[in-house]
Amino acid sequence: MAAVAEKRQGSLSRIAYDQIKTMILQKDLIPGQFVNEAQLQQLLGLGRTPVREAILALAQDNLVRVHPRRGIEITRPTPKDIHDIFEIRLLLEPLVLRQCFYRVDLQWALDMRARLIQHQDDEAGNAGQTAAPLIDLDNQFHLALVDTLHNQYASQLMRSLTDYLNLIRITAWRPSRYQVSNREHIAILDAIIEQRMEDACQLLSDHIQLSYQEAINTMLHASF
């Protein structure tokens, strides 16, 4: 019975974690906002223990910060956070692509390009509707390139950055950046498909730099 109760408690904690993370990434909970455990329990319809465990896990992933006597702050990325994450990406991703260029699955590249092309005509639509699938494709694109190295530590590192990168995107990207980023991904894939290694690596480096500049400029000029 104890094992069953423990398993159920773990399941509820995971549900709480997923639901709170979704609220953060959908901006139902706003970066910089303070909430408390009681509010989250009421929102989720869950008890104190799973919510508390979820908060601790979210804090480990840097999606929330716990302040004694003040409550739980939804993380607002700082310029230093943004710099550090994009710095490691710029060191890692182009190097992996260069080292593994001829191991990239060309069928994957063609399929990913086709999926990105599907979103090219969405610019006239509602940005809130197009952002979610483009963020998902963005993650898939970068994770797949790093996975080509077949190095579990590099892949784990890249995955550990994903949620925080999503937080940066929703906090510090203008709606137009999603479509520009989409076109940059297509250009990188074109170079891969055409086996232009130098171009592909340079385009990937430029893409990461431009994404960084978009985020850092928005954060530096934002008024909170």
Q: Which domains does the chain have, with CATH numbers?
A: 2-74 (1.10.10.10), 79-221 (1.20.120.530)
pLDDT at 123: 53
For the chain, the residue count is 224
- Sheet with 64-67, strands from edge to edge, namely 34-35, 71-74, 64-67
Beta-carbon contacts of residue 17 (< 8 Å; ≥ 6 apart):
53, 54, 57, 58
pLDDT value of residue 139: 94
- Report which of 45, 32, 43, 42 is spatially closest to residue 71, judged by C-alpha positions: 32
Q: How far apart are CA 126 and CA 111, in angstroms?
A: 25
For 151, phi then psi, to 5°, come to -120, 110
| Residue 105 identity (one-letter amino acid) | D
Output the six-digit token pair for 134. 């483009």
For residues 193 and 113, is the Cβ–Cβ distance under 8 A?
A: yes
List the chain pLDDT tens, one digit each, 224 residues.
Answer: 444 445 455 689 999 999 999 898 888 898 889 999 999 999 999 999 999 999 999 998 889 999 988 899 999 889 999 999 999 999 999 999 999 999 999 999 999 999 999 887 655 444 444 567 788 899 999 999 999 999 999 999 999 899 889 889 888 888 788 889 999 999 999 999 999 999 999 999 999 999 999 999 988 776 54
CA-wise closest residue to 106 among 40, 31, 200: 200
Contact 204, 185 (CB under 8 A): no
Stated pTM of the model: 0.81
Q: Which residue is associated with the tokens 């483009």?
A: 134
Amino acid at 88: I
pLDDT for position 218:
85
